[in-house]
Amino acid sequence: MSELVIKAEKLCCQSGLHYLLKDVDWEVRQGEHWIVFGLNGSGKTTLLSAIAGYKQPTEGKLEVLGEQYNDDTIFTLSRQIGWISASFFDKYYSGESVLQIVLSGLFGTLGISNNITDADVCKAKDLMRQWKIAHKSDMPFSMLSKGEQQNVLITRAMMADPKILVLDEPGTGLDVLARDSMMERVRELAETTDITIIYVTHYPEEIQDCFDRCLLMQNGKIIANGEVAEIFNSAQLSKLLQEEVEVQRNPQELYR
């Protein structure tokens, strides 16, 4: 059995009297590909922000790659987790150039240090070519389309060869072509690398057959987790949405 890369025990995040997460128990093993599914406000982003090191839990225990976050481990761990969240990075990035943002992925920080080498720049430019943003290298982040911004964040995440890749609602705001392209690249990563992928969404049609595990969240709690075929079905979704729904798969093996 592959090693645990994420272990949460009774994990809680509280804001005032309100729990954003409540008693979350979850284990993720190396190489697994997870869907985290729930409605807006269900705690998905809070959970993954904590795992990526950007949110401090108020109670419980969280181990990532065998370690807990503290002052000594925060930068080492964050470099190994590719965190892709437009809702998070839109708060911090605006006038920074594409190249600056991509290079910041080497350090797991929002900015870059003075230790950039020519090899680092070459790697960044090679990744930007793969994600079709090399021609935007000097453009400020705010001047890009939503699809281009998403590609910048994915490229940034891949700079440090992460062990865990976390995509928080990556299809939000993308047009049909941009979303299809993004989903195809995620599938390629799932099928050709051993990266553990956690994909957060509330769009059933984004659940590709390369995902083998599923976590359902509601009101800051996990209500079900396990294999996609066992979890993402009419009974579980009706319970989650609190109304009768029917889950089907189309010929391309996508849910709707």
Using DSSP bridges, classify how beta strands 164-168 and 196-201 pair: parallel, antiparallel or unpaired. parallel
Residue 116 lies in a domain: yes
State whether the Cα torsion 36-41-43-44 is positive or negative.
positive
By residue range, what is the domain housing residue 100? 94-161
Q: Identify the CA nearest to 37 among candidates 163, 193, 208, 188.
A: 208
Residue 128 lies in a domain: yes
Residue 142 lies in a domain: yes
Q: What total of structural domains would you count in the chain?
A: 1
Residue 98 lies in a domain: yes
Residue 223 lies in a domain: no
Summarize pLDDT for 143-165 with one digit per residue, the tens.
998 888 889 999 999 998 999 99
Residue 111 lies in a domain: yes
Q: Give the pLDDT mean for 113-121.
A: 85
Sorting pLDDT into bands at 50, 70 and 90, what band is 171?
Answer: confident
Cα angle 110, 47, 210 (rounded to 5 degrees) comes to: 90
Given this model, what pLDDT does residue 58 score?
94
Given this model, what pLDDT does residue 254 score?
52
Residue 152 lies in a domain: yes
CA distance 247 to 159: 37
Answer left, alpha or beta for residue 88, where phi above 0 means left and psi between -120 and 50 means alpha: alpha
Sorting pLDDT into bands at 50, 70 and 90, what band is 244?
Answer: confident
